[in-house]
Structure 1
Amino acid sequence: MTTAAKLTAVTAVIYLAVATPLHAQGLAEVYLLAQKQDPIIKQAEANYHAAAQARPLARAALLPQISFSAENSENRLEVKGNTFGVPGSKVDYNTKGYQLGLTQSLYNRDFYIQLRQSKNIVARAQIEWDLSKQDLMIRLIEAYFNVLSARDTLTYARAEKRAIGRQLEQAENRFEVGLSAITDVKDAQSSYDLSVAQEIAASTALETSLDNLAMMTGERLEMFAQRADNINPVVPEPADIQTWLDTALTQNLRLLINEYETTIAQQDIKRSQSGYYPTLDIVASHSDVESGGLTGDRESKDSKIGLELNFPIFRGGGTYYQTKESRFLYQASLQAHEQIKREVTRDTRQAYHNVVAGVSQVQALAKALESAQVSAEANEIGFEVGTRTTIDVLLSLRAVYQAQRDLSRARYDHLIDTLQLKYAAGTLNNEDIMLIDQAMH
């Protein structure tokens, strides 16, 4: 069996020992679990439902406002001395009654602007929730692939340690029979110790990545059945960066949210200016009170209905400064929109170039792995015939496993970059997760 074949066989055995469970979760299963358990997405959902109340709250101000109050009290009235020849007296009496009031707005400019503004507030909240869903996909895919990458790294670290361990054993045997120097044993021992340290670091990294994934799933998952070996990296479709930029500038959710925020800020100016306008209400009331006193029991009823016009004349300049404040906030929102637009353009460009570069990188690393395996074979044959040293064999072994780790990480990074591009363009959805899940099986 050739060296390359031995390395492949060892890696496969260790991978099965590390990664094959009784029931292994795939990306789709983990994503569905995160949708139910992730605190951030649940918080975003609650925020959306809270913001959705802006519409009925704004409508409520235009509906009749009805109030009712009632009173029932015991009273004592005591008058001392004489008043116009009438001696003082003391009387206990009961007062009871009720009052019913109704106010209906006929004209209030602020209320109508607030009603129109509430549509934009609810629409913005919906997009914010959609953005949170996309954020969850990105956070989940990064955490999930970090787990798979860390698991692969641990697999290769264990395989490397085992291969170098065999080389160390061989060096010790050759030294005992006088076929090699003690330096060969020391070189092999040094490489073995380094491989042990790498295994420990890889194991720790895997534990950390599992903990990070558990932040979204609510439970620690340790059984995963997928690898990225089955996925061939591809260039973006369409393979035209301008198309992606045009899509991003019309569909990126951060931009859409900011567009609503700018509109809301513009409506805030009009709401502030409403302080200059009059309000007109229908006001109606009815009261019925029974009481007593020195003059005896009495009952009074009062009913009225009318129009109430309020015209603001001077409010200390409050309306002027509030309007001025709203104008500055609107200008700030315009600048925020320009900033986000530039960020989206930058992020889309970077993501596109990362995807394109990732294709070439994966292909180059695959060739590098093949070359490293051929080199390992040649070094082992050369060692057997005396033209290569132990250190040559050890270095070639380490090169093979380093190439395996680099290729594995590059495959996962390419998948992440692909989703990052769709995220920047605003087109990322559940189907993208499901397609990757199917391709990895």
Structure 2
Amino acid sequence: MRRSAHLFFAAILLCGFPFPTFSKSLSEFSKPDLLSLWDLAQRHDASLEAARRERDAGQEALPQGRAGLLPTVNLTAERARERRWSDEPSLEGGVSRERQDLDQTRVSAELTQPLLRFENWYAFRESALRADLSEIEFLQVSQSFRLRLVRVYLDSLKAQLQMDTLRSQLTAVEAQKRQAESRLSAGLVDRLDLLQATAEYRRVQAERVSLRSELEAHFRELETLTGAEFSQLAPLQDSFEPRTQVLAPMEHYVQRGLQGNPGIRAERLRKQIARQGAHRARSAYLPTLDLNFRASHDVSETHSGASSGFAEFPERETDSVRVSLQLNVPLFSGGRTTSAHREATSRAAQVEEELKASVEETRLSIEVSYRSLRHLRDSLTASEAALEAQEAALEATERSYEAGLEDMVQVVQAQRAWFAATHEHDQVRLDYLAELARLQAAIGELDRDFLATLNGWLEAA
């Protein structure tokens, strides 16, 4: 492919006219690649940080569930003062009123170890699954973010390449316009050539203005994701050849997707969680058995007597140790247990259906992406053939124009067709990468390693 031979229409417009040059307005550092953008996004994006915090919170389900199987220990201290009055008959036949003051201090420690609590056991197994689910959900959010980053990057790169094409086209059309003016002054062509060149120049200018708005929108979205401003990206290498990439049979990707897709993995965990929830609800019918150990130390002091005087008894200290087994057999809870079990069973059935839907959706996504990749390979072959044909047509039109057999209208049309074929070829190559990223996401392998693979196909900064 000899694209550079026509970028500035040099073959027919040389004629001693200098062409304007375009210098880079940005430093090499200002052309980030995918990995550098991903590193920036990890530190900047609020949605990723929120998902990370949610993952960390979900990991706490495991120690909380485990706590239901471990002993609980409580230490209590109590300081009490009690006053009692009583009427006591006297030997003389009267009644004497007595008062008793009791000061008591008690310190106790109690340990309770569940021995037989099926509800706590199923809650522990459920908590372990919920911790795993939080990790899978974070992976799902991270992968979705990476897919979005790849999409925005490639969309920005498409607009950037089209802007470069329009810039080259504008340069060529501007040179055409100057040449038409010169040849018109020499009486070699009529005014129609100049009008055609001028109209084409204005058309390209208008298209460039419209595309600039689209490119700025893409860069603004990148800024939202990464927190940094960019006006250029590392482009795709000219040497990248999608047809050299080996595609395994479609069923191979389907099987990998059914095992690795984070959506399916999350639904499978939710299915297990729902089953444990049903077991936990049903275990409320079962008895519970706890071991209790209690040790206490009491200090009491008593003052008692009638109105004539009080007697003070010596301080008394008491130590006690109590070990017990507590059995609880649930008999009736107003129907709550039965209702809870029905609810848990229905939710388990719901998750089962959601898992089936996720499997079908993933299978369809993989099949569509796989077929699109194969179609894009064929489209790439077709676009190369079209580009070669337009290149040959442009060369022929150039020679005919120089010989006076063609006018500027045919030259502009041939040049426009060649630039369109160039743009189409670039689009197909980038569409291939976008579809490949969607396939990797469907099988659950759109990770940093894949970003590094994509990054290797970009030009080094």
TM-score for the superposition, normalised by structure 2: 0.83
* Pair 1:115–1:370, CA change in 2 (3 A): same
* Pair 1:163–1:26, CA change in 2 (3 A): same
The C-alpha deviation readout for 1:223-261, integer Å capped at 9, x for no partner, is: 533324221012763442222222222332221221111
* Pair 1:353–1:124, CA change in 2 (3 A): same
Report what 2:430 is aligned to: 412
* Pair 1:429–1:234, CA change in 2 (3 A): farther
The C-alpha deviation readout for 1:278-297, integer Å capped at 9, x for no partner, is: 11111233444557787478
CA apart distance, 1:179: 4.7
Uncovered stretches (5+) of structure 1, i.e. residues with no partner: none
CA apart distance, 1:14: 6.7
2:67 corresponds to 1:49? no
Taking the TM superposition and a 5 Å limit, the aligned residue runs for 1:196-207 are 196-207=205-216
2:279 corresponds to 1:279? no
Match of 2:243 among 234, 257, 261: 234
Report what 1:319 is aligned to: 337
* Pair 1:311–1:189, CA change in 2 (3 A): same
- Name the larger-Rg structure: 2
CA apart distance, 1:302: 5.7
Report what 1:224 is aligned to: 233
Aligned AA for 2:46? P
Distance in 2 (CA, whole Å) between partners of 1:16 and 1:241 is 46
Match of 1:351 among 369, 388, 391: 369
Aligned AA for 2:5? A
Distance in 2 (CA, whole Å) between partners of 1:403 and 1:220 is 31
Match of 2:358 among 337, 340, 362: 340
* Pair 1:272–1:16, CA change in 2 (3 A): farther
Distance in 2 (CA, whole Å) between partners of 1:9 and 1:97 is 101
Match of 1:68 among 70, 75, 78: 75
**Maintained 8 Å contact 1:14/1:155:** no
2:49 corresponds to 1:31? no
Aligned AA for 2:242? P
The C-alpha deviation readout for 1:161-192, integer Å capped at 9, x for no partner, is: 22222222333444455554544444333322
Taking the TM superposition and a 5 Å limit, the aligned residue runs for 1:141-180 are 141-176=150-185, 179-180=188-189
* Pair 1:104–1:167, CA change in 2 (3 A): same
SS in 1 for 2:24: helix
**Maintained 8 Å contact 2:236/2:457:** no
2:117 corresponds to 1:108? yes
* Pair 1:14–1:359, CA change in 2 (3 A): farther
Aligned AA for 1:196? Q
CA apart distance, 1:95: 6.1
Report what 2:204 is aligned to: 195
* Pair 1:360–1:100, CA change in 2 (3 A): same
TM-score for the superposition, normalised by structure 1: 0.86
Distance in 2 (CA, whole Å) between partners of 1:199 and 1:14 is 17
Report what 1:212 is aligned to: 221
**Maintained 8 Å contact 1:358/1:414:** yes
Which has the larger displacement, 216-225 or 146-155? Answer: 216-225
Q: Report the RMSD for the aligned CA atoms in angstroms.
A: 3.4
2:286 corresponds to 1:268? no
Report what 1:98 is aligned to: 107
Uncovered stretches (5+) of structure 2, i.e. residues with no partner: 11-18, 90-94, 305-311
Which has the larger displacement, 28-37 or 52-61? Answer: 28-37
* Pair 1:82–1:431, CA change in 2 (3 A): closer
SS in 1 for 2:165: helix
Distance in 2 (CA, whole Å) between partners of 1:303 and 1:342 is 63
* Pair 1:246–1:83, CA change in 2 (3 A): same
Q: How many residues of Structure 1 are paired with residues of Structure 2 in the alignment? A: 436
SS in 1 for 2:73: strand
**Maintained 8 Å contact 1:3/1:377:** no
Report what 1:139 is aligned to: 148
SS in 2 for 1:230: coil
Report what 1:5 is aligned to: 5
Which has the larger displacement, 248-257 or 259-268? Answer: 248-257
The C-alpha deviation readout for 1:388-423, integer Å capped at 9, x for no partner, is: 332322222222222222222221110121222222
Distance in 2 (CA, whole Å) between partners of 1:209 and 1:275 is 56
SS in 1 for 2:112: strand
Report what 2:16 is aligned to: none
Match of 1:396 among 389, 414, 417: 414
* Pair 1:94–1:398, CA change in 2 (3 A): farther
Which has the larger displacement, 153-162 or 298-307? Answer: 298-307
The C-alpha deviation readout for 1:272-328, integer Å capped at 9, x for no partner, is: 101101111112334445577874787676653311111111111111111101111
**Maintained 8 Å contact 1:103/1:282:** yes
* Pair 1:97–1:186, CA change in 2 (3 A): farther
Report what 2:129 is aligned to: 120
Identity %: 23
* Pair 1:120–1:237, CA change in 2 (3 A): farther
SS in 2 for 1:7: coil
Distance in 2 (CA, whole Å) between partners of 1:340 and 1:15 is 51
